[in-house]
Structure 1
Amino acid sequence: MTSTLDCEAAAYIHPSAQLYGRIRLEEGSSIWCNAVMRSEAAHIRIGRFTNIQDFVMIHAEPNCEVEIGDYCSITHHATIHGCKLGNNVLVGVNATIFNGAVIGDNSIVGQHAFVRDGTDVPPNSIVVGSPAKVIRTQNSWIANRVNALVYHRNALAYAKGDHRAWDGPDFERWLGATLEDLQRQFEAL
């Protein structure tokens, strides 16, 4: 099988990332150090301004594509396997989400959580544990969106060779203005 990589719109793909099969990276997405994506039969789609952080493994099985929405953060060492994530989702360090699971918009999957096959997590959920369970309903739109935008800013900096984008007064000003703008957007929803 030949690879079909549609990644021209990505903000940044680290040279150590390994992408195989049918993968689409939407506008502003970023793929970080040692991330691996494989799609031998189904497809993988990474949404706009979504970041796939260091050592993340994403795999699509036959009839189990991976769809990750816009403004998501898939943090270090997470495993995403044949599942769907809505928009503005944060997946914690070392979390695993398995075949057929669906994670609703604005949710957080806690670190080390194990989301079993076929689990349906409603929007605005906080999910933790092994097996994972919803422990609280909370709209995490702002926090998750900020995290994704911070990573997008970092991706643009890394693409230019700047590895200190989170340091200094320029970053602090940008972050403050971004938080104010997102709060206004959230209140208008």
Structure 2
Amino acid sequence: MGPPTLWQSFRQIIGRAMRETGQAMDRVGVKTAMLAVTKHDFYDDPVRFEDHLSRHRQLFPLLTAGRPVVHPEVAYIAPCATLIGSVRVGPGSSIWYGAIIRADACENAESFKKTDEEILAEELETWKLPEKDNRDDSLTGGGVYIGENTNIQDACIITAKADHCRIGNGVTVGHLAQIHSATIEDFCLIGMGSIIQEGATISRETLIAAGTVVTKGQVIGAGELWMGNPARKVRDLTDKERERLHYQSNEYVTVALGHQGTMQLGGNLSESMLLSQGQVDDSQVGEREVEQIDSTSISKESVPVAASNP
């Protein structure tokens, strides 16, 4: 796909202007609503209504690099996570707070012509990149593919500048870890602060210890423990340790489901969501007398998120 035409550029400018105008009106509306006061009962003090507002863009499409596609049954995408360009996230996976996943250095404008279902069906068959000598100087990379029941934890950075970045099923990527154009097979654990460099391959059920640096093109076998800078093999994992890798990824799916809906009223869950999660039963609904959350009222009592921190 060539550069955008004059008409496409014009539409982009007009669209951005309209969006910024809408954001300005939204800010005025929020400030106006904050001036309202209400009473729950005659003995309550007046309460200021403050809406929890976030304009952070989780999904960031790019005209030439494509758009992020998230499976409808994904466990959780944090409100402050960022997915840029050709990123695919499978069912049951979770992207946690402050994580950044970038696939912005590729040519995949064709994704805008396809539905989400068509794109998700192609995940296993990633598009073939041309040889590096034949690539455009500014667009050389691939996409980021994240499988099922995988968790990308807080402040991780995942990129695909040199090639596709493939992360399999049931993978745990610890806080602050970095993965750059590498392949992570199923049920691996990438420790906190680790760096996986371009072209590296981490085979199935392998544990990369915290702070480990896996160098470019390095291939790590299945069921092994690696650590250090540069990474070196320490030993093989026991059967119990391998089972633990499966258990941990499944537990993160449960934790992620508990974080769904945290943007409602600044982190408090609605009664209907608590019912669906099994946190309260029908008999408690009348007792709690939780009002419907809307733009003009708040609930009688705030209901905290019933989930443990990851």
Normalised TM-score (structure 2): 0.52
Change (3 A) 1:126 1:163: farther
What is the DSSP-based 3-state SS (H/G/I as helix, E as strand, rest coil) of the residue aligned with 2:245? Answer: helix
Aligned equivalents of 1:9, 1:84: Cα separation in 2? 24
Give runs of aligned pairs for residues 15-164 of structure 1, distance below 5 A: 15-40=79-104, 41=106, 42-62=142-162, 64-138=163-237, 139=239, 140-161=241-262, 163-164=305-306
After superposition, the CA RMSD in angstroms is 1.5
Deviation digits for residues 87-138 of structure 1 (CA, Å, limit 9, x no counterpart): 0000001000000000010000000000000000000010100000111111
Show structure 2 runs of 5+ residues with no match. Answer: 1-61, 107-141, 263-303
Tell me which amino acid in the other structure corresponds to 2:307.
A
Q: Which has the higher contact order (CA 8 A, sep 6+)?
A: 1
Deviates more, 1:133-142 or 1:151-160: 133-142
Higher helix share: 2
Aligned equivalents of 1:94, 1:55: Cα separation in 2? 10
Q: Larger Cα Rg: Structure 1 or Structure 2? A: 2
What is the DSSP-based 3-state SS (H/G/I as helix, E as strand, rest coil) of the residue aligned with 2:254? Answer: helix
Aligned equivalents of 2:243, 2:68: Cα separation in 1? 31
Tell me which amino acid in the other structure corresponds to 1:58.
I
List structure 1 runs of 4+ shifted beyond 4 angstroms.
none
Instruction: Tell me, yes or no, if the aligned pair for 1:9 and 1:25 is still in contact at 8 Å.
Output: no
Aligned equivalents of 2:305, 2:192: Cα separation in 1? 21
Instruction: Tell me, yes or no, if the aligned pair for 1:106 and 1:124 is still in contact at 8 Å.
Output: yes
Normalised TM-score (structure 1): 0.83
Aligned equivalents of 1:163, 1:112: Cα separation in 2? 32
Tell me which amino acid in the other structure corresponds to 1:150.
E
Aligned equivalents of 1:141, 1:106: Cα separation in 2? 6
Show structure 1 runs of 5+ residues with no match. Answer: 168-189
Change (3 A) 1:163 1:51: farther
